[in-house]
Chains A and B, each alone.
Chain A
Amino acid sequence: MIPALTIENLTKVYADGFEALKGISLTVEQGDFFALLGPNGAGKSTTIGIICSLVAKTSGRVAVFDVDIDVDFPTAKKHIGIVPQEFNFNQFEKVLDIVVNQAGFYGLPVQLAHERAEKYLRALGLWDKREVPSRTLSGGMKRRLMIARALVHEPKLLILDEPTAGVDIEMRRSMWEFLQQINAEGTTIILTTHYLEEAEALCRNIAIINHGKIVEHSSVKGLLRQLHKEVFILDCVEDLPESLAITDFTVHRVDDHTVEVEVEQGQHINQVFAALDEQGIHISSMRNKANRLEEMFVNLVEGAA
């Protein structure tokens, strides 16, 4: 199957000499839900900018559904829908006009443009707001407007740059559901996000970029398997003894009913349960201290620094 996106040895040196990308290569398969992660200034937005033509690459190759952007960028662009990080629509224009005009820029006839605009504005809960100037929308609504605008020409590849930044939890969840739905319907999605639980919840594959280089490119599951150590927080029913100890495990008593336990690769959490059970302590609940992907991310980024 043709990959949705192929990037080979992509470099970008800005006019001031800053080397934003140092020869990155990655592949995103069709139908994937892919996360592109990295700290601020790592090169994520530059990469996305090159894919959608807002940034000129210095060297390397980018192909969207096997269409090389150097050979036929207009066709490649037809396959792409882009939701940028910053609001980039005319705040004085009406919501409906923004989406219909975008359809026009992709050559969709007026009637079809209106049908598509209605379809996606309804799907994203903005149809009732279609006649209001976009500046009157809330931050979350503006983000959904940009998603509707990006989808109006029904691209095969949707790229979202920090789509849920500044969005409240309820709206974030509804956006996740919507994105999962269109991904299930066949749209390949590439997502950059700072919310690593978002990447863990939504994405199957992942690339981590740091200082202009890809430091990890694998499946989310595969990446998590590489974790050498996880810290669990256990809430206990009985009072914990002051000198709590479990053989072979590092434990930290947080308070009378809470303990943190480090479980290294090869160890089993069952051993902890058994040890506590022997001491007459029962567990009421358990959770990860940090997001697992976050731990992995920090390990990789700090390791590369």
Chain B
Amino acid sequence: MSSAEQFVAFMTIVRKEIKRFLRIWTQTLLPSAITMSLYFVIFGTLIGSRIGEMGGFTYMQFVVPGLIMMAIVTNSYSNVVSSFFGAKFNHSVEELLVSPTPNYVILMGFVVGGVSRGLLVAIVVTLVSLFFTRLDIHSYAIVILTVLMTSTLFALAGFINAVFANSFDDISIIPTFVLTPLIYLGGVFYSMDLLPEFWANVSKLNPLVYVVNAFRYGVLGVSDVSLSFALGMIGLFTAFAFGFSMHLLNSGTRLRQ
């Protein structure tokens, strides 16, 4: 397949993915806007006003980057896991497998679909947050870089989940029992400085810590971990997830008999 043909195949997958989540926007875009509004009201306005400052910012300003990142993580993940598992479930994934589209194009197509939904939800949630607080972006470059890297990482994670899933239960187990706890323990609502040293060190194994802190640095200019280390860790996790996803596709695990 020539590179031009590969690009056509890639754009076909991306277009199909975007069309899919826009068609069901009440299930894909609206819930995040409503959930995050509730977070802003409860944690930012009602409880946050009693907490006072954190890291030199109002509690509302402190939690907003983490909440935006939470929306990006859950949406990029769930877009790919539900779309790819759905394709496996109804066997329409065979349309791609019998075609000459290379595996890396298939993977990138689904990942960019997930990233697109993550970005769109991020914009929606950011706009909602502006009703509650003022956001002075410290570094647009770091914000954009972190958003792209994070949504790519979790889109890949969603892909891996979809490959191994055998039922619709399997695609909700990881988000419920792994992703959500990691997000809550990833410093969205508190600074790592508040943790005892042991738990602060344990938290460093959580990729969400780097994601939330890198993004918070881009927005507020403060972070619990070094920015370069945080971006390096996100890059490392992404490279591992990409490599593993390609291995699954190339070996045909759970896709080919």
Do A and B assemble together?
Answer: yes
Residue of A nearest to B7 (CB): A107
Interface pair B100/A54, CB less than 8 Å apart:
no
Residue of B nearest to A159 (CB): B98
Give chain B interface residues in 1-26, CB to chain A under 8 Å.
1-2, 4-6, 8-9, 11-13, 15-16, 19
Given A88-B90, A91-B90 in contact, is the A106-B100 Cβ separation under 8 Å?
yes
CA distance A75 to B100 in the complex (A): 7
Interface pair A105/B257, CB less than 8 Å apart:
no
Contact of B98 (CB < 8 Å), options: A14, A82, A86, A104: A82
Chain A residues, Cβ within 8 Å of B256 = 53-56
**Does B99 interact with chain A (Cβ within 8 Å)?**
yes
Given A104-B9, A105-B101, A107-B1 in contact, is the A49-B95 Cβ separation under 8 Å?
no
Chain B residues, Cβ within 8 Å of A86 = 91
Give chain A interface residues in 101-149, CB to chain B under 8 Å.
101-102, 104-110, 149
Interface pair B92/A88, CB less than 8 Å apart:
yes
**Does A84 interact with chain B (Cβ within 8 Å)?**
yes
Give chain A interface residues in 47-99, CB to chain B under 8 Å.
49, 52-56, 73-75, 77-78, 80, 82, 84, 86-91, 93, 97-98
Measured between C-beta atoms, what is the minimum distance from B79 to chain A in Å?
A: 15
CA distance A169 to B48 in the complex (A): 71
Interface pair B2/A107, CB less than 8 Å apart:
yes
CA distance A90 to B85 in the complex (A): 12
Chain B residues, Cβ within 8 Å of A49 = 257
Interface pair B91/A88, CB less than 8 Å apart:
yes
CA distance A97 to B90 in the complex (A): 16
Chain B residues, Cβ within 8 Å of A98 = 95
Measured between C-beta atoms, what is the minimum distance from B110 to chain A in Å?
A: 13
Interface pair A74/B91, CB less than 8 Å apart:
no
- Contact indicator per residue, chain B 98-114, by CB within 8 Å of chain A (1) or not (0): 11111000000000000
Interface pair B98/A54, CB less than 8 Å apart:
yes
- Chain B interface category by residue count: 20 to 34
CA distance A52 to B257 in the complex (A): 12
CA distance A174 to B137 in the complex (A): 65
Chain A residues, Cβ within 8 Å of B46 = none
- Contact indicator per residue, chain B 241-256, by CB within 8 Å of chain A (1) or not (0): 0000000000010001
Interface pair B92/A56, CB less than 8 Å apart:
no
Measured between C-beta atoms, what is the minimum distance from A114 to chain B in Å?
A: 12
Interface pair A108/B8, CB less than 8 Å apart:
yes
**Does B41 interact with chain A (Cβ within 8 Å)?**
no
- Chain A interface category by residue count: 20 to 34
Interface pair A53/B1, CB less than 8 Å apart:
no
Interface pair B92/A109, CB less than 8 Å apart:
no
Among A75, A101, A102, A149, chain B packs the most CB atoms within 10 A around the CB of: A101
Interface pair B98/A52, CB less than 8 Å apart:
yes
Contact of B100 (CB < 8 Å), options: A74, A82, A89, A109: A74
Given A77-B100, A90-B87 in contact, is the A101-B16 Cβ separation under 8 Å?
yes
Interface pair A90/B98, CB less than 8 Å apart:
no
Give chain B interface residues in 47-91, CB to chain A under 8 Å.
86-87, 90-91
Chain B residues, Cβ within 8 Å of A52 = 98
**Does B135 interact with chain A (Cβ within 8 Å)?**
no
Interface pair B92/A107, CB less than 8 Å apart:
no
Chain A residues, Cβ within 8 Å of B15 = 104
Given A74-B1, A109-B8 in contact, is the A54-B94 Cβ separation under 8 Å?
yes
**Does B97 interact with chain A (Cβ within 8 Å)?**
yes
Contact of A101 (CB < 8 Å), options: B12, B91, B97, B102: B12
Interface pair B90/A105, CB less than 8 Å apart:
no
Interface pair A88/B95, CB less than 8 Å apart:
yes
Chain A residues, Cβ within 8 Å of B94 = 54, 84, 88
CA distance A18 to B238 in the complex (A): 38
Chain B residues, Cβ within 8 Å of A90 = 86-87, 90, 92
19 residue pairs A–B, Cβ–Cβ below 8 Å: A53-B97, A55-B257, A78-B100, A80-B98, A84-B91, A84-B94, A88-B90, A88-B95, A89-B90, A93-B92, A101-B95, A102-B95, A102-B99, A104-B8, A104-B11, A106-B9, A106-B101, A107-B5, A149-B95
Interface set of B (CB-CB < 8 Å, partner A): 1-2, 4-6, 8-9, 11-13, 15-16, 19, 86-87, 90-92, 94-102, 252, 256-257
